[in-house]
Amino acid sequence: MAGIQERTFIAVKPDGVQRGLIGDIVKRFEQKGFKLVAMKLLHASEDLLKEHYVELKDKPFYPGLVKYMNSGPVAAMVWEGLNVVKTGRVMLGETNPADSKPGSIRGDFCIQVGRNIIHGSDSVESAKREINLWFKPEELVTYKSCAHDWIYE
């Protein structure tokens, strides 16, 4: 049961929000069988974004990334399910949309790496860190979906 309760952090970036893609992205995760346990729309502060991308702080694109992420609202979500971190990354596609396969979110909805519409945790450890950064514990909802027994053996 522990693996089924794995969680990941997914964020629709400002370009995805502005283009009206939140619903399409939520639909893909729901159709896959993952369970939404938290979601909020917010204009992320510069401090939150700097902490979120702290491991990239020495990269030349870091200031532009923080500015871009601070340019509009972000849809922050937590999804739960078996292997949700790894599967979520596959669903997102490659960081560079040009390298993403059709059928992936980035392969279907974007063209340039600087406007790649979505973020997903790259490991279980980073998912825990990102979830704790973006959500308070009481904002995470624990429940059993009525579809659970139709998704898992």
CB burial class (10 A; 0-12, 13-18, 19+) of residue 60? exposed
Ramachandran area for residue 103 (φ above 0: left; ψ -120 to 50: alpha; else beta): left
Residue 43 is classified by DSSP as -
Q: What whole-number distance in Å separates Cα of residue 39 and Cα of residue 70?
A: 18
Catalytic residue among 43, 52, 119, 148, which? 119
Q: Tell me, yes or no, if 119 is annotated catalytic.
A: yes
CB-based contact 29:88 (threshold 8 Å): yes
Structure token digits, residue 152 = 């898992």
Helix axes 22-32, 84-92, angle to 10 degrees: 130
Which residues are marked as active site? 119
